[in-house]
Structure 1
Amino acid sequence: MDALKQSIEAAREQGRFLDQSQMERFRVLFQKSEARLYIAKLITAHAAELVEAVTSNHTNSDGIACLYCADVLRHITYSLLAGNESILEDDFLDRLIKDLVSLAGSIEPFRQAIGALKNALLELLNAPTSRNNINQDYYGEIVNKVANDFDIITAHFRLETHRDRPQGTSP
């Protein structure tokens, strides 16, 4: 939105209308925003069933880790709406790992649950019924952003796992 504000301010200061290239950038920005909002609404509407599908496949000891899946979905949605990953990288992942290790003793069940959650969500987002009501121009790009956010989370967990492992041991 800063680019929008800067373009408007520049045009206003110069006493001119926005040019066609600026208008096109705004059109793209708004269409991407519409796709992000649409996907965020889908995630929100289906969050309970996505988490239930993932948690129902785990034992009670793994259940603690799975409870955090809803927290991850919320932060994925926040990141999606913000248009950047900083929400994931700001203290959220470190706090999440600390909580998981203190409650469950291991982050491995959570990593597995996150992989299953990613697959379930991408299946939902790629279903034809999910794609029917939105402009397709940027939908795939935004779905890829969601997948990338999951990859950021799992990469962070891989790093944390290696940090906790005694030197000289292998995964």
Structure 2
Amino acid sequence: MIKKLLRFVVPSSMCASMAFAAPLKVGDQLPEVSCASHEGKKVSLSEFKDSEWVLVYFYPKADTPGCTKQACSLRDSYEVLTDKGVIIFGVSKNTVEEQKAFAEKYKLPFTLLADKDTKVIKAFGVPQFPGIGLAKRQAYLFKEGKLVWKDEKASTTKQAADILKQVTAK
């Protein structure tokens, strides 16, 4: 009986794991993936590979306490970050409408990506919460298209400080 079950369980679990890219490692290139922004425009991350700094951060759900603190941390330091050449993208499985409402409610000056079909989440290899499929909180910092720093347990209140520390150190 167990052998029969394994014939079905093992192949299906292998397929599920293959649906995701391996987690990005320092030195990897900015993935070539696109998604709708909170403004409904298609954004291709690879278009920013020549930018000095690109921050792509993932959060589980817009307008929840931790995700709001994380976004507001970046909002409050937006001018300092952009003066240092940082372009910011926030990514979650929220819809375009939900991302737009989140950006407007908290006056977020950077681009939020509505990754409803998880293309961006999968391209970065970001783990999701079992059963609900929301992305876990992570942050990826690229310099001229190459990953130079990642935080697999990104801070909510100190996200901007963590990024500024990396940008000034490199």
Tell me: higher relative CO, structure 1 or 2? Use CA pairs within 8 A at least 6 residues apart: 2
Question: Higher strand proportion, which one?
Answer: 2
The TM-score, its normalising length taken from structure 1, stands at: 0.30
Question: Higher helix proportion, which one?
Answer: 1
